[in-house]
Structure 1
Amino acid sequence: MARPEFKPELHKKYFRRSLDLLPSESAMFDYSRLTILYFGLVGLDILGGLESLTDQYKRDIVDWVYKLQLVPNENCPEHKCGFMGSTTVINLKTDPKCDKYCESNVAMTYMALCILITLGDNLSRVNKTAVLRGVASLQKSDGSFRSNYEHGESDLRFMYCSLAICNILNDSSTINVNNAIKFISNCFNYDGAFGQNPGTESHGGSTYCAIASLSLLDSLSLVLDKKKLKILERWAVNRQICGGFQGRPNKDPDTCYSFWLGATLSIMGSLDRIHKDRNRNFVLNNANQLTGGFSKNMDSIPDPMHTCLSLCGLSLIGDDNLNPINPALNITVRAANYLRHIQ
């Protein structure tokens, strides 16, 4: 399969368009608009395209993100504090500080913080105490974390988001770290990878969440000895088929797993075990050469998530056109260095 030309300017235009206007079929994602913003801005940063946004535009985004922050008051208990995914649920007539429909979500809080860092905000308006106590309120007795307090799911996805929040805010004192590590360890399977919960099928996404979480806690060796690391490396490397990566055995490859599994192997120091050129070809062959953006496979249309994660995957394997990323936080190295500077 021939490798098509990589067109970074075309993909920058795709992201800028996604930040301003989306097709009507995307209306269902309005409640999690922050997700689209996260993928768009991180993707632009990888492409070196943030300078194409005016300072006023960036300030407007930062101000909008802060509108999503829920802080403690008489109507908003601590377990609801953090960031929501959209202003959709806010009653603009009364502009309540918090009502029964307003509740934070750890995934949205993680993305909000990443957006603010990426745009150079110093996080001074983040109510760090409330955010950290909100995260702590979501931890269950088995060490896992719910996505939100009311009826939230609990699995490794929200474990990762919770630990990333603590890492960004440089404080894990409000959570039980030992129980979190035990939960991650219990998700390790006989085949050498991780399921979303104990006893569930191993998956590339949950494996990334486990390895990135342990990396953020500097505890990888506490869960995986050399033998287990070798088994995990083999499982991850074997997910590369037809150049791309599949999320689990007997599934088709998908561009997003070039990040989920590429980042897993990168954190482990094993990225050289994959066929980088084949992976690069697979990802580039799923780029839309007319509109920009990347799709999951050739039968799909581009979307912000797959576009961003495709670029993350390309960055990991050393594409000269792209800025390097921090595989554990999934923001650029530039943004991660800025974070360390302001902490």
Structure 2
Amino acid sequence: MPADDEFSFLPAQAAAAAAPLPRVERRTLSLPDGRVLSGLAWGDAPPAVTLLHGAGLNAHTWDTTLLHLGLPALALDLPGHGNSSWRDDAAYVARVLAPDVVAALEEWTGRPQTLVGHSLGGLTAAAVAAARPDLVERLIVLDITPGVDPSAGPAQIRAFFAGPTDWASRDELVERALSFGLGGSRAAAARGVFLNSRVRPDGRVEWKHHFAHLAAAAAAGGSADTGTPDAVRAVPTETGWEDLAAVRTPLDLVRGERGFVTAADADELLRRHPGAAVHALPTGHNLHEEDPAALAALLRDIIDGR
């Protein structure tokens, strides 16, 4: 694995996608309370699309999708994830996260965005669109609604993150991921581990995202509420529906046919927001990682009005 270059995987990903490799740079925004928010700017032009990942992921989860999409974009690390600061209060809920996203949009975009959010990022995107419609041209939510069962998700994911929080090497963590049936190929697992972990000053490797540490604390006897690394763990259902109801920009829901959002969940969204459009892809919950080319094509069709 590379020593410290988060962009070292991109040339091979671009070649595999048969796509040009645009300029990608890391950006960091200092927040008033001393925390930092980080993200990746794709392309040389101001972004047209801003993307928010789900719980336990980071801005790099969109890399292959953005290579296929081919539009200038901004992919954020939500608070508690990637290179963004953890929250001392562990309040990783949509309306708490939304103001940080607003600050990033105000600082880094310059025009209303197509705001794309997956899972926790989708609920956060809805809160942003409801609070600041001037910043959002269109809202696209991926495989989440406020009505999704908070206990949804594969049991092996919860068990995986509830395990140790540090390891001797990234190779050890790759082996653990593969033993849980996670990460796909060894190369894909190695890329995911590298981009979602860091080496501490003592030489041990730990997850970048806060959820794994909260999950481990809960498994050791801490609070089960703060410990569940689930994308919708602490999002009050009615608050989320209120945010979606307040959205006045075009709204699209893209669900994975094997994901968290069922056809009944999608129907409930349409009942509460009749102007929305619903699309489905033959994937699980992480559409952007399972079939990034198909998702990018669908996103482009939605953005272009096709």
User: Same fold, TM exceeding 0.5?
Assistant: no
Higher helix share goes to which structure?
1
State the structure with more CA Rg.
1
Whose strand proportion is higher, 1 or 2? 2
